[in-house]
Amino acid sequence: MTNDKSIWQADFYRRPWQDDTGQVLWELLICDAEGGMLFDHATQTRSDHRTGNFRYEAICPQAAANASWLVEQLQLAASNSSEFFSTTPKSISPSPPYQGGLGGSESVTGQTELALPDIIQVFRPQSLSLIATAGQKLGITVEPTRRTGALKQWLRSRIPQYSTTGAYNPLAVDKPPPVPLPENLWGDRWRFASLPARDLEAAFKDRPLPILDMPEFLLPLNLGLASTIAVPGIIIYGGRKSMQLARWLQAAQPIALNYVPGELAGLILEAGLADRWVVATFSDSEAIASAQTYAQRQQQSQGLHFLLVQPDDSSVTYTGFWLLRDE
């Protein structure tokens, strides 16, 4: 993905609202993926929760929640976005509050130029199919990803609007139970590791790794981490399966690798939109103690951690490296 592509982030899902006829209402939220790091002067830390600039919202009854309605709304958002970027930043809503009927839309017939995005990012599995269908009709690539910081920050700010009828979390996504990694992928062994924040970027960014995933917004400097903070990680020695495992991981889109305590403790890989994979299980006290240290370091590093795949422990060749943080 290149930096010159325009990116929107979108969510389309039912909310805890009803219209006058008792129909459940669906809400469409669109924002751009731009926005800088937020700096907290109280804690002297930076956060990657990006606020976004352009915002668009619309509501429809559940009966109208389909790809055709989305196509019309995306066109409306595009027609407004050109005007938006030539004026003061604001949130654009194309219609008055929903009063029944289809609502939330108006004709864009005759619009000669639409500032449609190149990519729409979607974090909710239940939204993906409809938005992908609408995007296909408009020639827009739809990218499933949990990393929709601007949109999630907007959703958090709207929680008071959603909570009038009881507890409601607009970021909640149903997640299936974790399943074991495919047996044909598993390597020789694994271990816990850590690196000082100051060394993390230099250790991997310029190395000729076949697979390297280090998003700029996750770099320790951009998160405001102290240089001495220990960033925890997991190293998997893949042996002859090292490249096969790394390619599978890259396709799975790893997000986080978390320690889950219990009678049979383990490491759970969060990947894709809602996938969960059992990377390892253990019950011995030494491994559990190391896992607890790993989890504590994750808290100290604002959730930042890493996954490294290499053929063996010689440190001569690395196969894949991912910077991770839960979303």
- Contact between 198 and 220 under an 8 Å Cβ cutoff? The reply is yes
Residue 260: pLDDT above 80?
A: yes
Question: Domain boundaries in the chain?
Answer: 7-165, 179-324
Higher pLDDT, 194 or 167: 194
Query: What is the predicted pLDDT for the residue at 35?
Result: 45
Rounded average pLDDT over 259-284: 92
- Per-residue pLDDT tens over the stretch 23-82: 999 999 999 887 433 333 334 333 444 445 789 999 999 999 999 999 999 999 998 765
What is the full DSSP assignment across 44-110?
TEEE-----S-EEEEEEEGGG-SHHHHHHHHHHHHHHHHHHTTS---EE-SSSSP-SSS-S----TT
- Per-residue pLDDT tens over the stretch 190-242: 999 999 999 999 899 888 899 999 999 999 999 999 999 999 999 999 999 99
Query: What is the predicted pLDDT for the residue at 39?
Result: 32
Pairing of strands 305-310, 230-237: parallel
Higher pLDDT, 114 or 326: 326
Mean pLDDT of all residues belonging to the chain = 84
Residue 246: pLDDT above 80?
A: yes
- The encoded tokens of residue 230 equal 């220990």
Higher pLDDT, 228 or 168: 228
What is the full DSSP assignment across 109-168?
TT-------SEEEE--HHHHHHHHHHHHHHT-EEEE-S--HHHHHHHHHTHHHHGGGS--
- Contact between 28 and 58 under an 8 Å Cβ cutoff? The reply is yes
CA 262 to chain centre: 27
Higher pLDDT, 291 or 44: 291
Query: What is the predicted pLDDT for the residue at 179?
Result: 94
Q: How does DSSP classify residue 314?
A: T
The reply to whether CATH 3.30.70 applies to domain 7-165 is: no
Residue 165: pLDDT above 70?
A: no
pLDDT above 90 covers a percentage of the chain that reads 62
- The encoded tokens of residue 47 equal 């956060």
* Nearest residue to 172 (alpha-carbon basis) of 109, 103, 123: 123
- Which amino acid belongs to residue 133? T
Alpha carbon distance 12, 10 (integer Å):
7
Alpha carbon distance 304, 289 (integer Å):
20
Query: What is the predicted pLDDT for the residue at 190?
Result: 94
- Per-residue pLDDT tens over the stretch 295-322: 999 999 999 999 999 998 887 789 999 9
- Contact between 251 and 299 under an 8 Å Cβ cutoff? The reply is no
Alpha carbon distance 229, 297 (integer Å):
8
Contacting residues for 5 by C-beta, under 8 A, at least 6 apart: 117, 118, 119
Residue 162: pLDDT above 70?
A: yes
Alpha carbon distance 292, 281 (integer Å):
14
